[in-house]
Amino acid sequence: MAKVSDNKIPSLVDHLFRHQAGQMIATLVRVFGPRHIDLAEEVVQDALLKALQLWAYKGIPDNPSAWLIQVAKNRALDLLRREASLQEKSEELVRAFAAQETLANQRSESLSNNATLDDTLALVFMACHPSLSRESRVALTLKTVGGFGTSEIARAFLTKEPTVAQRLVRAKRLIRDEGISFDLPSSREMSARLDSVLEVLYLMFNEGYAAHSGENLVRADLCDEAIRLGWLIVQHPATRLPKSNALLSLMLFQAARLSARVGEGGELNLLAEQNRSLWDRRLIALGFHYLERSAAGEEFSEYHLQAAIASCHAAAASYELTNWEQIVRLYDLLVALNPSPVIALNRAVAIAKHRGAEAGLREVEKIIAHPALQQYYLLPATLGELWQELGEADKAADNFHQALRCPCSEPERRFLQRKLATVTNQS
Amino acid sequence: MPQYMLISQDSMEIPEGFEITPEIIQGIIQKYNDWADGLQKSGHLVGLNKLREDPGKNIVGTGANRVVTDGPFAETKEIIGGYWIINAANYDEAVQLASGCPSLEFGSRVEVREVEDLSAFGG
């Protein structure tokens, strides 16, 4: 196994501006207070535009972070002089930015135990506060911590820009009205508050993962960002709970398969068809690293089980050599912990692999009428696969037709059409 | 070899509803840097300058008739964002090199002007 460094999370693209924006906003929100997120955003945007004007001509300086921080600080001081209610904050601001600048100068990759990490995590907890709706939490986290634009969030979630903008306005208003604080939760509250954060990361990652395709890079960015935040969370002793490590491990295992998931023609490749030599070994090694860490302590979460299942796939040399027995066992535990029909469906697939298509069909039949699955294309798609395996081409075709009537992404649609073509040729 | 000045006439207007996200900013900078790096590597780039994004000053007349006003381009909403000086064999090559300027993608006008060769005057 490759040696794992805990200091740095691999990223596909260098999102310097997004990450820097998030860090600066975190520092500014701490100084201005959560009531003034808009002000913080304005300062950061000004600093970035200033960089745009100069760096387009003169190139990116050796230490872009320190430069941006300096510009943001000057801009913020201007604003503080203007805003009577904030005038006393200038000393605090100078101190806060000095700390960030030191960090930028050191170009330290290890963030633990410093004010910047504290600020960033406090911003994450604020944006993921349980009193905000799930959609708002995701949008606000991407906007403030992740440095995503409203338009990018809208594209990533296939929603309209005004809808996202409205969510952000409402979320900020709620933060103001409820007086939501800008701190790391106390150890008593930590586990519950962390759940709300991990849920956001999980949603963010899945949204990016489910629709990952070459023509939709913004959504791949969601995976990147979820992993980056997951990694930040395990850097801090207060948030480094076993479930944080488990979720990070899960996301790393899944991300390792991203490039094998979409074929050259943009088609979706399921696990069975994936070229495993395309899997990112570095990410898999990191996945095992954090899975091991997640085993510390008593806590046992859904993320643990999902990460363990993902690790079975990552460890298998081929689809045929997958340890389905172990996967079925893990799904049994997972269904007991969370009786979601989607998990039950995945369990049925594992059972089909382990005990045969008929056993799988019997499991699917138990959940076939579940209201939550009626528009879920993977239900008929799974049935189609199983009937095909049993040589029932007509029944398989019916199910693939039905799957195509459910909402799904373009690569998923092409995948279903490909499946349909194979059974139509058989009959 | 003759030198040419490429002058980027930037529009000051951002299209309605267009959001300049951090990622877009990074992408734009990257484009300009890649273009200039290319010119540098091929030995075409002589120098460049960025003008500040303020309206500047405009002077007309002398002595008692001198009038100083803000911003020469207030009405046109165009401002010279910056300029590059490049070596090129002739206008054809200069125009061809200037056509890669990212400013063009953002709706700016790029003016190409040959620099007068003053070396005969000892310059």
Q: Indicate whether A335 pLDDT > 50.
A: yes
Q: How far is it, in rounded angstroms, from Cα A389 to Cα A384?
A: 9
Measured CA angle at A413 (ends A152, A269), to 5 deg = 90
Q: Which two tokens stand for residue B1?
A: 């070899």
Q: How many Cβ atoms are within 10 Å of A121's Cβ, its own excluded?
A: 24
Is the Cβ pair B20, A147 closer than 8 Å?
Answer: no
Q: Which residues in chain A touch residue B100, judged by CB atoms under 8 angstroms apart? A: none
Which of the following CATH numbers is that of domain B3-13+21-121: 2.40.110.10, 3.30.70.1060, 3.30.1330.30, 3.40.640.10? 3.30.70.1060
* DSSP 3-state of A70: helix
Query: Which residue of A51, A58, A152 is in closest CB contact with B25?
Result: A51
Mean pLDDT of the region A183-206: 95
**A402 or A409, greater pLDDT:** A402
Q: Does B14 touch chain A (CB under 8 A)?
A: no
Q: Which two tokens stand for residue A43?
A: 């300062």
Is the Cβ pair A53, B25 closer than 8 Å?
Answer: no
Quote the ipTM score.
0.86
Question: Is the full-model pTM beyond 0.80?
Answer: yes
Q: Does B16 touch chain A (CB under 8 A)?
A: no
User: Which DSSP state fits B116?
Assistant: P
Mean pLDDT of the region A56-67: 88
Lowest mean pLDDT among A75-79, A84-88, A352-356, B6-10: A84-88
**A91 or A343, greater pLDDT:** A343
- Summarised one tens digit per residue, pLDDT across range A303-323 is 999 999 999 999 999 998 999
Q: Provide the pLDDT for residue A1.
A: 39
Measured CA angle at A357 (ends A353, A359), to 5 deg = 90
Q: Provide the pLDDT for residue A214.
A: 44
User: pLDDT > 70: what percent of chain A?
Assistant: 93
Residue-averaged pLDDT of chain A: 89
Q: Which residues in chain A touch residue B36, judged by CB atoms under 8 angstroms apart? A: 57, 59
Please compute, for residue A351, the number of CA atoms within 13 A of its CA located in the half-sphere on the CB side.
17
Residue of A nearest to B50 (CA): A57
Q: Which residues in chain A touch residue B54, judged by CB atoms under 8 angstroms apart? A: none
Cβ burial, residue B43 (10 Å; 0-12/13-18/19+): exposed
Place of tokens 């019997």: A362
What 3 state SS string does chain A have?
CCCCCCCCCCCCCCCHHHHHHHHHHHHHHHHHCHHHHHHHHHHHHHHHHHHHHHHHHHCCCCCHHHHHHHHHHHHHHHHHHHCHHHHHHHHHHHHHHHHHHHHHHHCCCCCCCCHHHHHHHHHHHHHCCCCCCHHHHHHHHHHHHCCCCHHHHHHHCCCCHHHHHHHHHHHHHHHHHCCCCCCCCCHHHHHHHHHHHHHHHHHHHHHHHHCCCCCCHHHHHHHHHHHHHHHHHHHCCCCCCHHHHHHHHHHHHHHHCHHHHECCCCCECCHHHCCHHHCCHHHHHHHHHHHHHHCCCCCCCHHHHHHHHHHHHHHCCCCCCCCHHHHHHHHHHHHHHCCCHHHHHHHHHHHHHHHCHHHHHHHHHHHCCCHHHCCCCHHHHHHHHHHHHCCCHHHHHHHHHHHHCCCCCHHHHHHHHHHHHHHHHHC
Q: Provide the pLDDT for residue A165.
A: 95
Is the Cβ pair A55, B20 closer than 8 Å?
Answer: no
User: Which DSSP state fits B51?
Assistant: -
Q: Which residues in chain B touch residue A58, judged by CB atoms under 8 angstroms apart? A: 48, 50
Mean pLDDT of the region A41-59: 92
Q: Which two tokens stand for residue A40?
A: 């913080």
Q: What is the distance in angstroms between the CA of the first residue and the CA of the last residue of chain A?
A: 46
* DSSP 3-state of B32: helix
Strand pairing partners for A107?
none
**A290 or A263, greater pLDDT:** A290
Q: Provide the pLDDT for residue A212.
A: 47
Confidence class for position A359, pLDDT limits 50, 70, 90: very high
Q: Provide the pLDDT for residue A84.
A: 77
- Summarised one tens digit per residue, pLDDT across range B69-114 is 887 555 556 788 899 999 999 999 999 999 999 999 888 899 999 9
- Cβ–Cβ < 8 Å for B57, B73: no
Q: Provide the pLDDT for residue A3.
A: 45
Q: How far is it, in rounded angstroms, from Cα A47 to Cα A256?
A: 35
Lowest mean pLDDT among A62-76, A94-108, A275-289, A403-417: A94-108
Query: Which residue of B17, B23, B28 is in closest CB contact with A18?
Result: B23
Distances (CA, A) of A311 to A115, A254, A346, A349, B21: 34, 9, 15, 17, 36
Q: What is the distance in angstroms between the CA of the first residue and the CA of the last residue of chain B?
A: 15
Q: Provide the pLDDT for residue A426.
A: 60
Residue of A nearest to B54 (CA): A53
Q: What are phi and psi of A238, to 5 degrees?
A: -75, -25
- Summarised one tens digit per residue, pLDDT across range A362-394 is 999 999 999 989 989 999 999 999 999 999 999
A222 Cα distance to chain centroid: 5
Give me the total of CB pairs closer than 8 Å, taking one residue from chain A and one from chain B. 70
Q: Provide the pLDDT for residue A2.
A: 41
Is the Cβ pair A57, B32 closer than 8 Å?
Answer: yes
Q: Provide the pLDDT for residue B52.
A: 85
**AA identity, residue A314:** A
**AA identity, residue B114:** E
Residue of B nearest to A144 (CA): B22
Q: How far is it, in rounded angstroms, from Cα A111 to Cα A125?
A: 18
Residue of A nearest to B84 (CA): A57
Domain ranges of chain B: 3-13+21-121
